[in-house]
């Protein structure tokens, strides 16, 4: 009638595969980070000597910064996961026209990020050297939302530049 059939931004099946491989590889990184290997005790043994050498940081000050470095890792890791999931779903689920952003892709990416964060913390609650905290699920989910806002701003910005060029 008057509507275009759903189309993908890139019809190359290798592009779709690459999008999902990137997301899956990042999920593997998160799974490794969720293990005992990267508990606070183990990362502290690595980071403290480095920060002590570079900045002369004592243990009490290091414990303060160690907390924020680890939470910064959550924000970065789950923000990146959200972006990779957005990209993978955008390449998987076609829409009419040639849209580069839809709420559907964003919502699925945020929900996927929250699901992974929940499973990650649930898994950590069974490890003696880790703690599963609902606060980390909230932090990780907020990082996913913030990443989607950045994706939207990026797409709007690049669309405007293309229109004025």
| pLDDT of 148 | 98
Domains in the chain: boundaries: 12-164
| pLDDT of 2 | 52
Radius of gyration of the chain (CA): 20
| pLDDT of 83 | 98
Strands 6-7 and 95-96, by their bridges, are antiparallel
| pLDDT of 44 | 86
| pLDDT of 130 | 87
Segments of the chain with pLDDT less than 70: 1-11, 165
| pLDDT of 165 | 67
CA distances from 70 to 5, 39, 126, 155 (A): 46, 10, 20, 30
| pLDDT of 5 | 59
């Amino acid at each position: 009638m008057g509507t275009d059939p759903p189309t993908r931004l890139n019809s190359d099946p290798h592009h779709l595969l690459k999008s999902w491989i990137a997301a899956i590889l990042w999920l593997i990184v998160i799974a490794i980070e969720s293990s005992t290997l990267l508990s606070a005790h183990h990362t502290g043994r690595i980071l403290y000597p480095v920060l002590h050498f570079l900045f002369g940081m004592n243990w009490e000050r290091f414990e303060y910064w160690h907390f924020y470095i680890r939470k910064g890792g959550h924000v970065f890791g789950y923000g990146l996961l959200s972006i990779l999931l957005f990209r993978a779903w955008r390449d998987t689920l076609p829409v009419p026209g040639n849209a580069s952003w839809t709420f559907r892709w964003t919502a699925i990416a945020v929900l996927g990020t929250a699901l992974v964060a929940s499973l990650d913390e649930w898994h950590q609650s069974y490890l003696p050297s880790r703690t599963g905290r609902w606060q980390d699920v909230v932090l990780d989910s907020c990082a996913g939302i913030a990443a989607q806002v950045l994706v939207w701003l990026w797409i709007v910005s690049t669309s405007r530049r293309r229109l004025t060029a």
